Amino acid sequence: MAIGHTEKAPAFISSLEEILKKYPNDTTVNTQIQNQLTYIANNRALFYNRPTALLNYDPNEIIPITNTISDKPNVTLELSKEITSSQPSAKNIEITKGETSKTTTEAPKDILKSADNTLIVETDKMVKEPEKTKVINFSNNIRIKHAVVVDIKNATMNVAKPFAALTKHFYTTFAPGSVNLSIRTIGNTDKLIIVKGPFTNKDMAEKALTELSGSLSEMLGLKENEFTSFVISDPNLLLINSTESLNQYLNFIK
């Protein structure tokens, strides 16, 4: 699984085939591997076009997408079919729907097109202010499914070994079919190893994390200041898609 989350399909397939050769009599594992290889063979294009054989996120999760135009606060946009001026100058530009600027003294600073092809012109009169950080309203619901998260404070680190160690621990502690591990890179600062299991509420997830917290540093092969760990509900996890949102959540649970 660690190879699948960090390497492309050929390396992942090779690693699965090695297990078949090494443990030919393990019918339980071999059946799972054969099913995986068959699925890959039937979906070859899908797997070979991925950046890694196994996705580093849950495909069932819906990551919020912001509107890049409407999310520009404190910026006034002049929207018109025709902007005219009796005395054209560098700051007064005549623009007609579907046409380009008729004044060549100076181009407008920014021109966008709306859905109906009307030009949206940003003029010199606009004053841009720094964008304000949006405050995320995290849920306090402790009676829903939670995940255990190990946050490695280095987005460039190869986490194959920590991922494999956590996989071994959780597959030993819980039924393998009830556990799902994935990796999510956050901006250029953090890399999250997310463990979803039979944690139907916050207390169960915290118990699972507490059971390994004493040996977590040794298990991961990392210093204590190189990572942090926490639990998070599934709805809140959907909101973690940037360094800022991660920091907001860490402050939220303090």
pLDDT of residue 240: 95
Is the predicted pLDDT of residue 111 greater than 70, yes or no? no
Mean pLDDT, residues 64-74 taken together? 40
Distance from C-alpha of 136 to C-alpha of 253, rounded to nearest angstrom = 13
How many other CB atoms are found less than 10 A from the CB of residue 194?
22
What integer pLDDT is reported at residue 18 of this predicted model? 87
Which pLDDT score, from 0 to 100, does residue 224 have? 93
User: Closest Cα to residue 13, out of 23, 3, 22?
Assistant: 3
Report residue 103's pLDDT band, with 50, 70 and 90 as the boundaries.
very low
Are residues 83 and 93 in contact, defined by beta-carbon separation less than 8 angstroms? Answer: yes
Average pLDDT of 157-178?
94
Mean pLDDT of 107-129: 49
Domain boundaries, the chain: 2-48, 75-128, 146-252
Take residue 125 and report the two structure tokens written for it.
């009169």
> Selecting from 2.40.390, 3.30.70, 3.40.50, 3.40.1710, what CATH number does the domain 146-252 have?
3.30.70
Is pLDDT of 8 > 50?
Answer: yes
Please, which residues have CB within 8 angstroms of residue 122's CB and are 6 or more apart in sequence?
A: 75, 77, 78, 108, 109, 110, 111, 112
**Helix (H/G/I), strand (E/B), else coil: 190:** strand
Q: Give 214-250 pLDDT, tens digit per residue.
A: 899 999 999 999 999 999 999 999 999 999 999 999 9
The average pLDDT across 9-24 equals: 88
pTM above 0.85, yes or no: no
- Burial class from Cβ neighbours inside 10 Å (0-12, 13-18, 19+) for residue 165 reads buried
